[in-house]
């Protein structure tokens, strides 16, 4: 899918050099709108030349949704070594994420609000940033109803995937946690050390066991297409997807329920 955006600077070698402004135009052209609640999963290496780098992409996303919109980035910190016997230490202001250059850049920018969760935090910008991240601290499992990832679907938001395939759909973990098929969490809680400035406390959370074998999320594709929940897009030079988050949650739930019935 090729999207022609006016006024994109062109480098001497003929390649497009994207700016925050032209990226904003591109986002609007494929369906990101003012006031949107937008979850962004990304690998931006394939986006091409971008004047201002990852920070320019953050600004483009914020500009596209406007002051009434909210954009959310996953700033996950959980690793395979996290276990009830070796629980994580999470510093809300300092712990870096492993989810890519874009969320790590967003995490460091002023104006963002990061949720307080030991493995699956998110940082949000915009009108509902404080509200959508507020009670992740109260989660029992990482992607339960307190998670910003679930709230994007609950509130009729969108999911933007840049440079990745559908295997990055973390929203699927919400359904796995509910149906326990497969149950992604350890049977025992982890006593995590939570740090926010001078505040330090230990709190129990049920965390994901990385050794649990999940299904291939690409198998959700026919369920998503049946509900018209997903469409291909181009962002910068990179391919990607734009999804209706509520329809995506319904599609994943339908898929898992069918698979549970077959398994029994």
Question: pLDDT tens across 106-159, in order?
Answer: 999 999 999 999 999 999 999 999 999 999 999 999 999 999 999 999 999 999
Instruction: Taking residues 182-209, report their average pLDDT.
Output: 96
Q: How many other C-beta atoms are found inside a 10 Å radius of the C-beta of residue 263?
A: 8
Residue 192, in any domain of the structure: yes
Residue 6, in any domain of the structure: no
- Residue 84's SS3 state is coil
Residue 127, in any domain of the structure: yes
Residue 171, in any domain of the structure: yes
pLDDT for residue 229: 98
Structural domain count, the chain = 1
b/e code 24-49 from CB counts within 10 Å (16+ = b): bbbbbebebeeebbbbbbbbbeebeb
Beta strands in 75-146 (DSSP E): 89-91, 113-114, 122-126
**Rounded to an integer, what distance in angstroms lies between the CA atom of residue 202 and that of residue 89?**
9
Instruction: Taking residues 99-104, report their average pLDDT.
Output: 98
Contact (CB, 8 A) for 92 and 116: yes
pLDDT surpasses 80 at 96: yes
pLDDT surpasses 60 at 186: yes
By 3-state DSSP, what share of the chain in percent is helix, strand and coil, each rounded to 5? 35, 25, 40
pLDDT for residue 164: 97
pLDDT surpasses 80 at 1: no
Domain that holds residue 29: 17-258
pLDDT for residue 12: 54
pLDDT for residue 80: 95
Residue 4, in any domain of the structure: no
Contact (CB, 8 A) for 240 and 161: yes
pLDDT for residue 11: 55
Contact (CB, 8 A) for 162 and 240: yes
Residue 10, in any domain of the structure: no
Instruction: Find the largest Cα–Cα distance for the chain.
Output: 61
**Rounded to an integer, what distance in angstroms lies between the CA atom of residue 170 and that of residue 135?**
18
Residue 12, in any domain of the structure: no
User: For all residues of the chain together, what is the average pLDDT?
Assistant: 93
Distances (CA, A) of 165 to 124, 152, 219: 22, 19, 11
pLDDT for residue 225: 97
Residue 111, in any domain of the structure: yes
Per-residue pLDDT band at 3 (split at 50, 70, 90):
very low
Give backbone dihedrals phi and psi of 234, rounded to 5 degrees, phi first: -130, 130
């Amino acid at each position: 899918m090729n999207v022609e955006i006016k006024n994109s600077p062109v480098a001497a070698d003929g390649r497009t050099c994207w700016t925050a402004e032209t990226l904003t135009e591109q986002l609007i052209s494929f369906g990101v709108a003012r006031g949107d609640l937008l979850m962004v999963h990304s690998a931006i290496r394939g986006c091409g030349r971008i004047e201002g780098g990852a920070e320019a992409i953050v600004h483009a996303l914020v500009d596209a949704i406007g002051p009434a919109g909210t954009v959310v980035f996953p700033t996950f910190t959980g690793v395979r070594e996290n276990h009830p016997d070796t629980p994580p230490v999470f510093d809300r202001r300092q712990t870096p994420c492993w989810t890519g250059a874009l969320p790590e850049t967003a995490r460091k920018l002023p104006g963002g609000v990061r949720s307080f969760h030991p493995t699956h935090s998110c940082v949000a910008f915009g009108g509902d940033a404080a509200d959508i991240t507020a009670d992740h601290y109260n989660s029992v499992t990482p992607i339960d109803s307190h998670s910003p990832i679930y709230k994007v679907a609950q509130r009729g938001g969108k999911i933007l995937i840049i440079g990745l395939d559908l295997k990055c759909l973390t929203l699927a973990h919400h359904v796995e946690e509910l149906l326990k098929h497969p149950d992604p969490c350890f049977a025992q809680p982890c006593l995590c050390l939570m740090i926010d400035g001078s505040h330090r406390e230990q709190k129990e959370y049920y965390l994901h066991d990385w050794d649990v074998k999940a299904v291939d999320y690409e198998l959700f594709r026919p369920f998503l297409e049946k509900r018209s929940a997903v469409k291909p897009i181009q962002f910068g030079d990179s391919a990607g997807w734009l999804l209706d988050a509520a329809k995506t949650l319904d599609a994943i739930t339908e898929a898992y329920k069918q698979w549970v019935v077959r398994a029994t």
